[in-house]
Amino acid sequence: MRFQPSEAMNRLPVQFFSGLTGKVQKQVEAGYDVINLGQGNPDKPTPSHIVAALQREAENPLNHKYSPFQGRKELKEAIAYWYKQERGVQLNPETEVAILFGGKAGLVELSNIFLNPGDVCLVPDPGYPDYWSGVAMAGGVMEMMPLREENGFLPDFTQIAPDVAQRAKMMFLNYPNNPTGAVAPRAFIEEAVKFCRDNEVLLIHDYAYGAIGFDGVTPPSFLSHPDAKDVGIEVYTLSKSYNMAGWRVGFALGNPEVVRLINLYQDHYFVSLFGAVQMASVEALTASQQCVYDLCAMYESRRNTLYNALHRIGWKAQPTPGSFFAWLPVPAGYTSSSFADVLLNEAQVAVAPGIGFGEQGEGYVRVGLLVEEPRLEEAAERIRRLHLFE
């Protein structure tokens, strides 16, 4: 007996990176020592004080019951506290904070909440592939916004056709950016908010890497703009800031009507996060943030080590100002996929081909700063032996 999936399932894009994972696994199974720089999974453990809070809260019988449908007020108050202390942004925890089951789930949900079949969504290219997944499931239409190096990997809103701007219902932005590592200046935030207000477009800013900025720069929150809450929301996650990727704790913040609809949607799917995870997340957000500052400093040191090593072998690129990724041009004569295959098969160094993030990602590879510095230097040395940059 065969079962036919829904049209929504058939619209889902091919998961590009599952193929990359399979290639890496084959090398590992063949006995090779692969330096995997193609992943986006933090390599350090969750800070011990957060783990201790989870252990303590897991023993509390109150947390063995269903949590409130829309999450613990303590956690909403904690994220509001963090935004006020760390970014100077005032949030009403009751009406302007929705708890998500990780940022990824929230980003996919938003398309299903707001897009009807045929509705236009403006999507960055290159960009996080799960934006595509949500739009596809909702039956929406993607209009791509090219992110080009000459424009600092920021979309140029003047290049969006007027008819597209008028039909657009939603827009995804993401800074610090995955995969390019770009950081948005405040002037760009002003442009984005104005564009969305003028064209009545819902702005969704993915702030997953918001804690990771280099060279003394703190990546600004879009909510720092006084009109940001009128045009949309920001999605934040604990995954990157606190090495809590497996804990699946995220937030949608800003416009009260958008927050209300997210809560309504999730009421039909979830009965909130495990209470002990929520209370441990309170500890993460309200305790000393030194662990976050130390983590950011570690990534900056790794970035410097990687780029210095690559420059020594002739692979020239401008260091990324944020996130935990490097975005590197491939040498002449290669596509991003063929170059990644050469590095994996001949040097046992895994990188992510830029084409997996969209057509504008062709010509680049993404490298994760998610191994120790000696391994980054060893990766550069292995690549040097291929004589690709001489």
* pLDDT for residue 12: 85
Contact 38, 351 (CB under 8 A): yes
Q: Give the closest residue to 193 by CA, choosing from 180, 177, 205.
A: 205
Q: In what order do the strands lie in the sheet with 325-329?
A: 325-329, 364-368, 352-353
**Cα–chain center distance at 49:** 25
Distance of alpha carbon 170 from alpha carbon 167, whole angstroms: 9
Domains observed in the chain: 7-46+290-384 (3.90.1150.10), 48-286 (3.40.640.10)
Q: How far is CA 313 from CA 120, 337, 379, 386, 390, in A?
A: 44, 21, 11, 10, 8
3-class secondary structure, 240: coil
For position 339, what pLDDT does the model report? 97
What pLDDT score was predicted for residue 271? 85
Q: Check residue 179 and give its pLDDT.
A: 98
The pLDDT assigned to 357 comes to 96
State the 10-residue block means of pLDDT for the chain, 390 residues long: 88 80 89 92 96 97 92 97 97 98 95 97 96 95 97 97 97 98 97 97 98 96 96 98 96 98 94 95 98 98 98 95 97 96 96 96 97 98 94
The pLDDT of residue 39 is: 87
